[in-house]
Structure 1
Amino acid sequence: MRIALLANPAARSGARTGAAMRAAERLRTHGVQTAIVSGGSALESSELLRAAIDAGVDAVAVAGGDGTVRLAIQHLAGTGIPLGIIPTGTGNDFAAALGLRELDVETAADAIAAGTTLDVDLARVLRDDGTAEHFATVLASGFDSRVNDRANAMTWPRGGSRYTIAILREFVTLAGMPYVVEFESADGARERVESDLVMATVANGRTYGGGIPISPDADPTDGLLDLVLVRPAGRARLLRLLPRVYRGTHGTVPEVAMHRVRSVRIVSPGVTGYADGDPIGALPLTVDVAPRALRVFIPAV
């Protein structure tokens, strides 16, 4: 097997940049031909990965987090070329959905070499300018996209705890925003919600922000997306509800509505959408599901 291993172009620490080397060494012990691909920016890395795929590889692996995964899936969606993940990023939510242990380079590399794969869904974002992009985990807008803005600007701490701190800080200015949300539900019915919302989230996977189960019933193999809408409430009440969000039991709260959908269009002025932890575009955005669009390596049962 020949693999192109994409290293996170944003990694700077020795431990994180060294993960790609350790993974490559581990794969080579299994007889897997491994070439590391790493550019000085996301754009350069994307171009180098595209060239490696065009030259002919049997699989692609990434050493990084959800943002690096999103870079790779733009080239892999619908191709049947499998993706392996060495989870060394901040969030690693997609890796967690596949049963990979965070920062365990050797175990993740072993899973790739073993060759067990699963076909999973992706979500596709359509912008009004006609451009499109895929994401693997969650698209956030509203309060949670502002949390991402703050978390991404923080240099400390690393890991999921930075999202917890960002959430608490954003509560200071928390307010509802005018939204129009139109969606096709799982049974084909079309619905429209026009209301002030704190957030509107579209999920292919259960968690975001380093393990927060925003859509606890989401399944990336069911051919559907999960839409989570949160209406305004007092800051004190929402703060008391945070523990339920972290437990994944917020679905029964009156201010929260969850829908299984095939597609959704979200409109709110001045709001940016984040997908897999990175900005993906200003609203309005349309999101639909790409069933079984990505083949991934998973640990053998």
Structure 2
Amino acid sequence: MARSSRQIALLVNPTAGRGRGARSAVLAAARLREAGFVVRELVGRDAEEARELGSAAVAEGPEALVVCGGDGLVHLGAGLVAGTGTALGVIPAGTGNDLARYLDLPRTDPVAAADRIVASRTRRIDLARSGGRHFVTVLAAGFDAVVNERANRMRWPRGQMRYTLATIAELRTFQPIRYTLDLDGVERRAEAMLVAVGNGPSFGGGLRITEGASFDDGWLDVVLIRPLSRAELVRAYPRLFNGTIVDHPAYERHRVRRVTLAAPDIVTYADGERFGALPLTVECVPGALTVIA
């Protein structure tokens, strides 16, 4: 195919990374056009408009949908291209960038990230699916999800401090949650601080809750953190950053193809986005997503 006929849709979250999305998109688009691609830039004012623009673009069959933003936009883009002939490219511009970390994409240089799109080397990775929705990295269904819910109700402050204050507030009253899980047909009832379902190893900018999970092994990693005191939970938190949480005595891991989670009053988050209330059934869809890596 002639280089000049290669079509790319560039879907941008201009507010990602406190405006880094917009700046990165300008540099990435220039590099892609310089390499001979026809680039259609799409900027959504909110998630719904971004979804509509991206869906319409994918329907036209571009070579790639390239998302310039954070994990939320990766989440949206993956759902749009799953099962199509369109690959997903990523120009990291958010605060988490967990898929970009796993793929070892340049996270601070949008031109270097665009060079990966130019090289067009692809690989297939798994997705996790619940009903008609997909997620890429980790679904959170416990203390972390409760913190997200509280933070989303807060109007002040903005940014990471809001999540810090929400965490402190929840720590004062949080009690272990009673879960019922179906793990490939085997029922497990347990009290836990959280349950996480990982298609990949991390979420939230490198929190390695499902350390060891791989995007291309055909499995989901289901992790429970059994009950801890508030002080123990605070002490265990830093271990998420280097993966040593797996050695904590409260850590429990299962590898499954399919899991059903049930617990009262829990709204889950996946790829950092509000996903849905429990109960939910999640299954691994091997090789469902083509990514440019």
Amino acid at match of 2:176: G
Aligned-partner Cα distance in 1 for 2:222–2:44: 35
Q: Does residue 285 of structure 2 align to residue 294 of structure 1?
A: no
SS of 1:221's partner is coil
* 1:116 counterpart residue number: 121
Matched, 1:15 2:20: yes
| Distance in 2 separating the partners of 1:179 and 1:9 | 39
* Aligned equivalent of 2:209, options 214, 220, 226: 214
For residues 137 and 207 of structure 1, the distance between their equivalents in structure 2, rounded to whole angstroms, comes to: 7
Q: What is the CA distance between 1:137 and its match in structure 2?
A: 0.4
Runs of 5+ consecutive residues of structure 2 not aligned to the other structure:
1-5
Check the 8 A contact 1:179/1:267 in 2, yes or no.
Answer: yes
CA RMSD for the aligned pairs?
Answer: 2.0
Matches within 5 A, 1:185-264: 190-264=185-259
Determine which of 52, 56, 59 is the counterpart of 1:54: 59
Aligned partners of 2:165, 2:110: CA distance in 1, in Å?
Answer: 27
1:95 maps to amino acid: A
For residues 165-184 of structure 1, the aligned pairs below 5 Å read 167=167, 170-184=170-184
Shift of 1:102: 2.0
Assess, with a 3 A threshold, how the Cα gap between structure 1 residues 61 and 258 changes in structure 2: closer, same or farther: same
Residue 133 of structure 2 is aligned to residue 133 of structure 1? yes
List 4+ stretches of structure 1 deviating above 6 A. none
CA contact (8 A) 1:216 1:248 kept: yes
Gap change, CA 1:149 and 1:61, over 3 Å in 2: same
**Does the residue aligned with 2:274 lie in a helix, a strand or coil?**
strand
Q: Which moved more, 1:96-105 or 1:226-235?
A: 96-105
Residue 35 of structure 1: aligned partner: 40
**After alignment, is 47-56 or 114-123 more displaced?**
47-56
> Which stretches in structure 1 are left out of the alignment for 5+ residues?
127-131, 185-189
1:10 CA displacement: 5.1
Between the two proteins, the alignment pairs up a number of residues equal to 286
* Aligned mates of 1:163, 1:212 — CA distance in 2: 15
- Percent identity over paired residues: 44
Q: TM-score normalised to the size of structure 2?
A: 0.91
- Partner SS, residue 94 of structure 1: helix
Question: Are the counterparts in 1 of residues 16 and 70 from structure 2 also a CA contact under 8 Å?
Answer: no
Return the letter of the residue paired with 1:183: L
What is residue 93 of structure 1 aligned with on the other side?
98
Query: Does residue 102 of structure 1 match 2:97?
Result: no
List per-residue Cα deviations over 1:83-104 (Å, max 9, x = no partner). 1101111211111111113232
| 2:143 alignment partner in structure 1 | 143
- Correspondence for 2:30 among 25, 28, 52: 25
1:2 alignment partner, one of 2, 7, 11: 7
1:10 & 1:287 partners in 2: Cα distance? 30
SS of residue in 1 equivalent to 2:213:
coil
Residue equivalent to 1:77: 82
Distance 1:286 1:81, change over 3 A: same
In structure 2, C-alpha distance between the alignment counterparts of 1:173 and 1:102, rounded to whole Å? 37
State the secondary structure of the residue aligned to 2:257. Answer: strand
Distance 1:139 1:247, change over 3 A: same
CA contact (8 A) 1:60 1:83 kept: yes
Which residue among 255, 270, 278 is the counterpart of 1:283?
278
Partners of 2:93 and 2:28 in 1: how far apart?
11
Deviations 1:61-92 (A, max 9, x none): 00011110111112211113111101111211
Q: Is 1:44 matched with 2:39?
A: no
Contact 2:20 2:94 in 1 (8 A): no
Partner Cα distance (1:265, 1:79) in 2: 27
User: Residue 241 of structure 2: SS of its match in structure 1?
Assistant: helix
- The change in CA–CA distance for 1:259 and 1:122 in structure 2 (over 3 A counts) is same
Change (3 A) 1:157 1:49: closer
* 1:167-217 deviation digits (Å, cap 9, x = unpaired): 455333332011111111xxxxx3221122110100011111111111110
